[in-house]
Amino acid sequence: MISISNLKKTYNGVTVVNIPELFKKKGETIGLVGNNGAGKTTLFRMMLDLIRPDSGEVISDGKNVAESENWKDYTASYLDEGFLIDYLTPEEYFHFIGGLHNKTKTQVDAELPSFSEFFNGEILNKGKYIRDLSKGNQTKVGVAACLIQNPQLLMLDEPFANIDPSTQIRLKNMIKEISLEKHITTIISSHDLNHITEVCERILLMEKGEIIKDIATNSNTLQELEQYFSVLS
Amino acid sequence: MAILILYILLNVVVVAFFLDEILKKTNPSQDILYSFNGYIIYYFLMDLLLRFQMQELPTLSVRPYLHLRIKKHQLINYLSLTSLWTTFNITPVLLSLPLLIKIVLPQQGPAQFWGLLLSIIGVTLSNHFFSLWIKRKVNLNAVWMLIFLGTLLLFVSLDFYFKLFSISTLSAELFTFVVASPLFSFLFLFIAFLVYFLNYRYLKSNLYLEELHTADSSHKSSTEIPYLNRFGKAGDLAGNELKLILRNKRPRSVITMSLMFMFYGLIFYTNPTFSGYAGIVFCGMFMTGIFIINYGQFMFSWQSAHFDGILVSKVNAVDFFKSKFLLFTLFSSLCFILTIPYVYFGWKVLIVHFVMFIWNLGVNTLLVLYFANQNYRRIDLSKGATFNWEGVGASQWILSIPLLLAPFILYLPMSLLGYPEGGLAAIAIIGLFFMFSREIWLSKLVKKFQEKRYLIAEGFRNK
């Protein structure tokens, strides 16, 4: 699905991302962990063609993301609130995003009830613009907008931060479900090692821009990661 | 907006320097100083009205200090002092100082000069803190504004038409008295201090962001703008941007100012010295193109908060640009329709307006979008537009040069040769040429955008 080669980005002489080679298979659920400044968000942004890499390329489904825009047809992502149009109501935003993927308003409206448990009654028909929602509720809007796009590739940057424990559990179940049923490739970053090892079948550990560990998740993974992070500090 | 503020300030300076001449002309029978004094109360009543409408409340600036070891009274003094730096406070001094130096200082003496100046400063400061206090205390909506404006107009008509009583005489007598006994000016400073204290006490007992910063908690409903649907995805994007304009403070005030600009023609067309085409070309370009100029100069900064979202979503760059053209056409047409009544000043006004409307759509839209590709500055939509310099950079200044000069480069040579109609035709032809060849320029703009989008996105991420 995605292959990265010789990807490099430096800011003021500091290398933020340096990945010689990385493959992501279709249908994989991949977790990205690493301390602040490890380069997770920069990697996401380069995979989404928001930042131009100094060298190297990201190939998605056979095409370079910086050259072809085909990846936008099957890629949905939510990195931060900068992805939301904050002066719209959540409903208007969902309709707009659905419309970009040729879904009518009624089609989108028909899909929204399936999120009712995830939204926990805090998103729809509240008479608020997205900018007036709490950060956690904004994350819910962002994640739901991703799923409305029926993506083949899903990227979420720290989706578990800011949302309440019940929603965290529901989000975990949702991600597991879609990767099982729809065979979606998912890339998630998180600081919560419990969640990430529970959801993801493959974990990438980043440090100073490099992927220093690439682990297929097993029963020892959590321990292994905890050990790494405790030694580091 | 940057061009506009500078232009207004320039006007103020010019008026200030010739104020004595202007007063001599408008009130030939009266002493200049006496007529000057007669306008002071009216000026400050207008000032108050404008302040209610436009003055910013610097409230959120204390947020990072509220939980720190800083005494409340220090915070309030900080809030009050930082609020002083506004054009509203500079203008009265700027307006009156040349006249005071030219007339009062030589004729009356330094004590009288200082007396009048300090009184004006005192009234300015009273107005300043009074408007801060009342704006925080009551939510002044449009109804209050209209009541205030209505009362003001009533007073003016009672004063000048029916001559029932005269505020201008009151004003003149009051300030002439100040000139006669300058020590009296300390009363005005004392009033200013009282109003400051009123504001201080209110802030002291209400220093909670929640209470000072009235968040709009009304029910927001989802709406759809029906007409735009037929333009496909570009229409959807234009619809979103229309909502951006209507639902955010700063773009909304840009629209209010643009509407106020529709009266711009009254200044020029009522004056017989501007009977040539050049004045109408200038006026017509501003009136029919004010939205393109005023809103367009900050593109794409308006969308800086969600620019990443636009780039990763399935929004085609061509549709993105087409939505801008759609928005420009929509607002320019509206402005053209609103300026049709100027036909009262002759058919040629309407024709020139139409030519400039075409020019705006053909040339100025492309110009503005060309500069939008070089603009990397983030804008916070929730702040007011008046005297807000955020997002103003070199690009806005450079943009204003071709914007102002281009039509005259076409018009003036022909006009000087004695064919002003030919100059007008040249503007129309070039405007039409760029309108019909828009697709070519559009593809060039899109290509440039694809190159620059990383830089634009990076700039917009910098808060």
Model pLDDT for residues A142-177, shown as the tens digit of each residue: 999 999 999 999 999 999 998 999 999 999 999 999
- The whole-number pLDDT of residue B275 equals 67
Tell me the residue ranges of DSSP E strands in B101-178.
Answer: none
Residue B214, pLDDT > 60, answer no
Average pLDDT over residues B301-310: 93
Residue-averaged pLDDT of chain B: 85
Sorting pLDDT into bands at 50, 70 and 90, what band is B395? confident
Sorting pLDDT into bands at 50, 70 and 90, what band is B296? very high
Residue A64, pLDDT > 80, answer yes
Cα angle for residues B444, B447, B449 (degrees, 5° grid): 110
Closest residue in B to A90 (Cα) is B222
Average pLDDT over residues B186-201: 93
Residue B433, pLDDT > 80, answer yes
Q: Which of B240-244, B401-405, B438-442 shows the lowest mean pLDDT across its residues? A: B401-405
Average pLDDT over residues A196-225: 93
How far is residue B58's CA from residue A45's CA, in Å, rounded to a whole number?
36
Q: Do A73 and B314 touch (CB under 8 A)?
A: yes
The answer, for A125 touching chain B at a CB cutoff of 8 Å, is no
Sorting pLDDT into bands at 50, 70 and 90, what band is B3? low
The answer, for A50 touching chain B at a CB cutoff of 8 Å, is yes
Residue B445, pLDDT > 60, answer yes
How far is residue B182's CA from residue B116's CA, in Å, rounded to a whole number?
7
* Chain B residues near residue A130 by CB distance under 8 angstroms: none
The answer, for A124 touching chain B at a CB cutoff of 8 Å, is no
Residue B390, pLDDT > 90, answer no
Q: Which of A69, A96, A152 to mutate to test the interface with B (most CBs of B within 10 A)?
A: A96
3 state DSSP class of A126 = coil
Task: Write the CA distances from B279 to B246, B264, B267, B285, B393, integer angstroms.
Answer: 32, 11, 11, 10, 29
- Residue among B331, B342, B329 at smallest CA distance from B283: B342
The answer, for B225 touching chain A at a CB cutoff of 8 Å, is no
Sorting pLDDT into bands at 50, 70 and 90, what band is B137? confident
- Asked whether the ipTM of the predicted complex exceeds the cut of 0.95, the reply is no
> Is A53 exposed, middle or buried (CB count within 10 Å of its CB: 0-12, 13-18, 19+)?
buried
**What is the number of H-type helices and E-type strands within chain B?**
22, 0
Contact B65, B75 (CB under 8 A): yes
Closest residue in B to A97 (Cα) is B313
Contact B17, B96 (CB under 8 A): no
Task: Write the CA distances from B97 to B13, B92, B104, B222, B361, integer angstroms.
Answer: 10, 8, 10, 52, 43
How long is chain B?
A: 463
**Pairing outcome for strands A210-216 and A55-60:** unpaired
- The whole-number pLDDT of residue B386 equals 61
Sorting pLDDT into bands at 50, 70 and 90, what band is B399? confident
Check residues B370 and B162 and name the one with the higher pLDDT.
B370
**Helix/strand/coil percent split, chain A, to 5:** 40, 25, 35
Q: At what angle do helices B232-247 and B317-338 cross, to 10 degrees?
A: 60
Note the pLDDT tens digit of each residue in B227-262: 887 888 899 999 999 999 998 888 888 888 888 888
Closest residue in B to A105 (Cα) is B224
Q: Which of A50, A69, A124, A138 to mutate to test the interface with B (most CBs of B within 10 A)?
A: A50
Tokens of B126: 């009273």
Check residues B57 and B275 and name the one with the higher pLDDT.
B57
Closest residue in B to A83 (Cα) is B309
- Residue among A62, A12, A60, A46 at smallest CA distance from A206: A46
Residue B280, pLDDT > 60, answer yes
Q: How many alpha carbons fall within 13 Å on the CB side of residue A5?
A: 6
> Is B183 exposed, middle or buried (CB count within 10 Å of its CB: 0-12, 13-18, 19+)?
exposed
Note the pLDDT tens digit of each residue in B80-91: 888 888 878 888
Gyration radius (Cα) of chain A, Å: 18
- The whole-number pLDDT of residue B109 equals 86
Residue B97, pLDDT > 60, answer yes
Residue-averaged pLDDT of chain A: 92
Q: How many Cβ atoms from other residues are within 10 Å of residue B33's Cβ?
A: 22
Note the pLDDT tens digit of each residue in A36-60: 989 999 999 999 999 999 999 999 9
Check residues B28 and A98 and name the one with the higher pLDDT.
A98
Contact B115, B182 (CB under 8 A): yes
How far is residue B113's CA from residue B103's CA, in Å, rounded to a whole number?
9
Q: Do B220 and A127 touch (CB under 8 A)?
A: yes
Average pLDDT over residues B272-284: 81
Residue B160, pLDDT > 90, answer no
Residue B204, pLDDT > 90, answer no
